Chains A and B, each alone.
Chain A
Amino acid sequence: MRNYLPPEYIVHIDQDRCRRCGECVRTCAFGTLRFEHGAWRQAMSVFQHGRDDLERVFDRIRDNVPDRVAADNKKCVQCHYCVAHCPEGAISIQPNPLAYRGNHHWEPHHLKNIWLQAETGGMVLTGSGNDKAYFSYFDHMVLDACQVTNPSIDPLREPMELRTYLGSLPDALEFESGPEGPVLKTRLAPSVRLDTPLVFPAMSYGAISLNAQKALAKAAVSCGILMNTGEGGMHEDLYPYAHRMVVQVASGRFGVNPGYLRRGAVVEIKIGQGAKPGIGGHLPGEKVDEGVSQTRMIPVGSDALSPAPHHDIYSIEDLSQLIFALKEATEYTKPVSVKIAAVHNVAAIASGIARAGADIITIDGFRGGTGATPLAIRDHVGIPIEMALAAVDDRLRREGIRNRVSLVASGGIRHSGDVAKAIALGADAVAIGTAALIAMGCRLCQKCYTGNCNWGIATQKPELTARLDPDRAAENLANLIRGWSLELKEILGALGLNSVESLRGSRLRLRGVGLSDADLQVLGIRNAGVGA
């Protein structure tokens, strides 16, 4: 069956521009491009005698005789590494127009997957986030701005506060009188400071390369934000950045020991993730090399299985037990976060998590990315982050416990506009994973699960990881954070606000365009054209 699958893309090499440097042939990790000796063949066809001898000579020198670059279109995943690196700009890639007969119900990917599964009987895997054309609520919400009656603020002239603290706030503050005035009596819960309301979410060493993690860690330190180890433990090389890292504890408990817990700034219990709600993780043995083995503390080459649930958590009470086990282990000095996927009952679940003692709840919407997940789960399970966030914030407010937790929203945040809208819907901070990978070079080819990432991100192959310079990538990430922060300040200024604090949960500053009444109700916003 596989042999009959038409290629998804067609790679075109402009043979006039190509100078046969071999860059693309050497670098494509999917093995798409090769040198072919077409000209030789053509020339040979005129010989009648002595051809065998010439063939023999040619066989010996074949590898040293580049001819034209040819592509095996079927292997191309359109990651654009060759396109970006061809010194002559000789490569272009197009979707194959003749791949399948057009049909509005049976789309090409449906046919392709059926054929693949008819052959293998397995599940179809994919990487990165849900790419289906689901309705985007972000794209149907707009922000307010000041005009005439209330002045906007110019962030270039006036101070604009993006600083954000993640952690639990007390229900009330108690003071007692001291000799020099009132003294705070309430014991405050630990919190962590962000210089801008952005964080990098969990991406484990194993799923991504150590160089990619280093870049994230360096950028987190230089921007005063957080990166997240993911569930694969913390490599020694990252210890210098640990004070800006969230250390994750997932069902596989890889690399979790007292030192790991103490090193981080925040401890996060991973319950679920937007790209694969309700299912576990599975790092194939091929990706478990010496470094990953050391960090996860499992033998080289063995599969790293994370069971779907934590088998010590079957209820909110059990979750509470783990939260406090982690607090005990870190002596109540670090906030504990719980990460869940956005699912139908997310508001009630979040309420339970807040009551269970978590300091931070991270909610990952159905557009969230992943290193590997079954396609059927990624594309059909979970709900949009906009809806989940609004529902959770609303529920926690109504129950009077919103102060007990900070909310971090993630799952398909593409630009500072999305960030501002998420904050207005109730997020304290926003996590950007896919955007961070794109800033490092990712082309969203969705082949992360193959371990062949040409951009050196989702791979452990040394020749590929070497392509990602952690310092350069860290700079790119820091630039992205700076750019979005500047835009965020402009948005706040336009709204007449001088601190991001004032936008948090301020849904009055959002309006819906083209949304149904039910949508507006869940989002807790009014329709465009309706005034204050």
Chain B
Amino acid sequence: MLRIDAAGVHYRHLNEQIRETVRAGETVLVLDNVNGQRYIGTGLESDQVRITIHGVPGNDLAAFMSGPAITVWGNAQDGVSNTMNSGTVVVHGGAGDVLGYGMRGGKLFIRGDVGYRVGIHMKEYKDLVPVLMVGGRAGAFFGEYMAGGRLILLGLDRPAGSPLTGDYLGTGMHGGVIYLRGRPEEHTLGREVKMFDLDEVDWAFLNPLLDEFCRYYDRDPGRLRAAEFRKLVPVSHRPYGLLYTP
């Protein structure tokens, strides 16, 4: 195990140190006093590496990442898991905007609320199915242009009367599934999605993920499941097929 004190270290040096350590064969890294350093884990490729972050990592955490597992003891900022390929990121707090943009594999768990434009253009290919799971609420444009993968929004610990998501939920969605614990307000739904109840296939997929979520954040899976779940799926895989004159 290697501990790095990130206090006052520029991101470029910090990330260089991380990459060199990983190249030298180290697999367990602990970063202390992280305070806004960007690009931690960006472009990192390894299935063995585990990074624990104490503090608040900066934007583009785990961008283009392929394989590693990152745990953040704190909040995260924007762009977590941007175009991520595989691996796991677990954030013990909230996170900012544009999480999981173009994400194509791996898992991202956020304990609390998230900002705008989360899960835009997530996609999937064969067995690469990305999962982005949010414990709290989400801002507008959740799952916009979604082309694949699974977005799960639990809406836990929500003040009474506060909406699950902002507007434009699933606008332009043409693949994948959004699971919602609770009922979104009708006016927030994008035109390209339809809401359904969950079937066995959904539960078979969702159950292990809910258990995983509860393990990370120490919650009771039974109580989590007790609420009403709905799913959003795209009306068409080709939402824009009729835009053109042949």
Name the B residues within 8 Å of A297 (CB-CB): 104, 123, 125, 128
- Residue B158 at the chain A interface, CB threshold 8 Å: no
Q: Which of A49-57, A59-67, A73-81, A256-264 contacts B (4 or more CB under 8 A)?
A: A256-264
Are A312 and B244 in touch, CB under 8 angstroms?
no
Note all chain B residues with C-beta closer than 8 A to A329: 42-43, 63-64
User: CB within 8 Å of A: which of B27-75?
Assistant: 38-39, 42-45, 59-60, 63-66
Least CB separation from B64: chain A residue: A329
Instruction: Determine if A293 is an interface residue (Cβ-Cβ < 8 Å).
Output: yes
Please give the distance in Å from A320's CB to the nearest CB on chain B. Answer: 10
A263: min CB distance to chain B, Å: 13
Interface membership of B238, Cβ < 8 A? yes
Instruction: Report B36 CB to chain A, min CB distance, Å.
Output: 13
Q: Which of A120-128, A164-172, A408-416, A524-532 contacts B (4 or more CB under 8 A)?
A: A120-128
A251 interfacial contact with B, CB 8 Å: yes
Tell which of B42, B43, B101, B172 touches A305, judged by Cβ atoms closer than 8 Å.
B172
Contact, CB under 8 Å: B237 / A258 = no
Q: From B175, which residue of chain A is reached at the shortest CB distance?
A: A302
* Interface: B245 (CB within 8 A): yes
Q: Are the C-beta atoms of B124 and A123 separated by less than 8 Å?
A: no
- Shortest Cβ distance from A297 into B: residue: B125
Question: Contact between B43 and A302 (Cβ–Cβ < 8 Å)?
Answer: no
Contact A125 B64 (CB under 8 A): no
Chain A window 287-325, contacts with chain B (Cβ cutoff 8 Å), 1 for yes, 0 for no = 000000100011101110101000110000000010011
A160–B141 alpha-carbon span in the complex (Å)? 56
Report if A305-B147 is in contact (Cβ < 8 Å); known contacts: A256-B102, A258-B64, A321-B38.
yes
Q: Is the CB of A257 within 8 A of B147?
A: no
Separation of A138 and B241 alpha carbons in the complex (Å): 39
Residue B83 CB within 8 A of the other chain: yes
User: A123-B245, A312-B101, A331-B19 are known contacts. Are A299 and B43 too (CB-CB below 8 A)?
Assistant: no
Interface residue B117 (Cβ < 8 Å from any Cβ of A): yes
* A261-B59 Cα distance, complex, nearest whole Å: 19
**Bound complex: CA A113 to CA B244 (Å):** 12
Interface residues of B in 107-127 (CB under 8 A from A): 117, 120-121, 123-125
Known A325-B60, A325-B63, A328-B43; contact A299-B148, beta-carbon cutoff 8 A: yes
A235 within 8 A of B: no
Residue in B42, B117, B120, B246 whose beta carbon sits within 8 Å of that of A328 in the complex: B42
B145 interface contact, C-beta 8 A: yes
Encoded as 1 (CB less than 8 Å from any A CB) or 0, chain B from 229 to 246 comes to 000000001111111111
User: Which residues on the B side are within 8 Å of A302 (C-beta)?
Assistant: 147, 174-175, 237-238
> Would you call A502 an interface residue if the criterion is a C-beta within 8 Å of the partner chain's C-beta atoms?
no
Contacts of A251 in B (CB 8 A): 121
Bound Cα distance from A301 to B237, whole angstroms: 9
Q: State in angstroms the CA–CA spacing of A282 and B83 once bound together.
A: 19
Least Cβ distance of B6 to chain A in Å? Answer: 15
Cβ of B175 and Cβ of A307 under 8 Å apart? no
Give bound CA distance, A301 to B241, whole Å.
12
Q: For residue A293, which residues in chain B have a CB less than 8 angstroms away from its CB?
A: 125
Checking A282, A299, A325 against B42 with a beta-carbon cut-off of 8 angstroms, the contacting residue is A325
From A116, which residue of chain B is reached at the shortest CB distance?
B245
Partner of A321, one of B60, B125, B174, B238: B60
How far is the CB of B45 from the nearest CB of chain A, in Å? 5
* Contact mask for chain A residues 316-349; partner B; CB cutoff 8 A; 1 contact, 0 none: 0000010011001111000000000000000000
Query: In the docked arrangement, what's the CA distance between A78 and B192, Å?
Result: 39
Q: Are A258 and B43 in contact (CB-based, < 8 A)?
A: yes
Distance in angstroms between the alpha carbons of A386 and B59 in the assembled complex: 38
List chain A residues, Cβ under 8 A from B19: 331
CB-CB contacts below 8 Å: A332-384 with B: 374
Q: Could you tell me if A312 and B98 are in contact, using CB atoms closer than 8 angstroms? A: yes
Number of B interface residues at 8 Å Cβ cutoff, please give it: 49
- Determine whether the beta carbon of B245 is less than 8 Å from that of A324: no
Q: Please give, as numbers and ranges, the residues of chain B lying within 8 Å of A282 by CB-CB distance.
A: 240
Chain B window 128-149, contacts with chain A (Cβ cutoff 8 Å), 1 for yes, 0 for no = 1000000000000100110110
How far is B147's CA from A253's CA once the two chains are assembled, in angstroms? Answer: 12
Q: How many Å lie between the Cα of A252 and that of B60 in the bound state?
A: 17
A285 at the interface (CB under 8 A from B): yes
B15: Cβ under 8 A from any A Cβ: yes
Q: Do A298 and B148 contact each other (CB < 8 Å), given the known contacts A256-B102, A305-B174, A328-B39?
A: yes
Complex contact B145–A312 (CB within 8 A): no
In the complex, residue of chain A having the shortest beta-carbon distance to the beta carbon of B125: A297
Judge whether A117 is part of the interface by a CB distance below 8 angstroms.
yes
Cα–Cα, bound, A285→B241 (Å): 9
Question: Which of B12, B101, B175, B243 is A311 in contact with, Cβ under 8 Å?
Answer: B101
Q: Is A303 a contact partner of B42 (Cβ separation < 8 A)?
A: no
A303 touches B237 (CB 8 A): yes
A298 vs B128: C-alpha distance when bound (angstroms): 10
Kindly identify, within residues 255 to 287 of chain A, every residue whose CB is under 8 Å from any CB belonging to chain B: 256-259, 261, 282, 284-285
Report how far A312 CA is from B144 CA in the complex, Å: 12
CB–CB B64/A261 < 8 A: yes
Evaluate contact between B242 and A122: CB separation under 8 angstroms. Answer: yes
**Do A311 and B121 touch across chains, with their CB atoms under 8 A apart?**
yes
Q: Tell me if B155 counts as interface (CB < 8 A to partner A).
A: no
B71 CB to nearest chain A CB (Å): 20
Given that A285-B237, A298-B125, A328-B42 are known contacts, is A122 also in contact with B145, CB under 8 Å in the complex? no
Given the complex, which residues of A lie within 8 Å of B45, measured CB to CB?
A: 258-259
Q: Across the interface, do B128 and A252 meet the contact criterion of CB distance under 8 Å?
A: no
Interface-central residue, B102, B145, B147, by most chain A CB under 10 Å = B102
Closest residue of B by beta carbon distance from A122: B245
**Among A124, A303, A311, A312, which residue has its beta carbon within 8 angstroms of that of B241?**
A303
- Chain A residues whose C-beta falls within 8 Å of the C-beta of B128 in the assembled complex: 297
Q: Which of A119, A251, A330 has the most CB of B within 10 A?
A: A251
- In the complex, the chain B residue whose C-beta lies closest to that of A119 is B245
| Chain A neighbourhood of B240, CB < 8 A | 282, 303, 305
- What are 8 sample pairs from A and B whose C-beta atoms fall under 8 A apart? A113-B245, A284-B241, A285-B237, A285-B238, A305-B145, A324-B39, A328-B42, A331-B19
Nearest first, the 5 closest Cβ-Cβ pairs linking A and B are: A329-B43, A253-B102, A122-B245, A297-B125, A328-B39
- A sample of 9 more A-B contacts (CB under 8 A), given A257-B66, A311-B120, is A122-B242, A256-B64, A258-B85, A284-B241, A305-B121, A305-B147, A321-B60, A328-B63, A331-B19
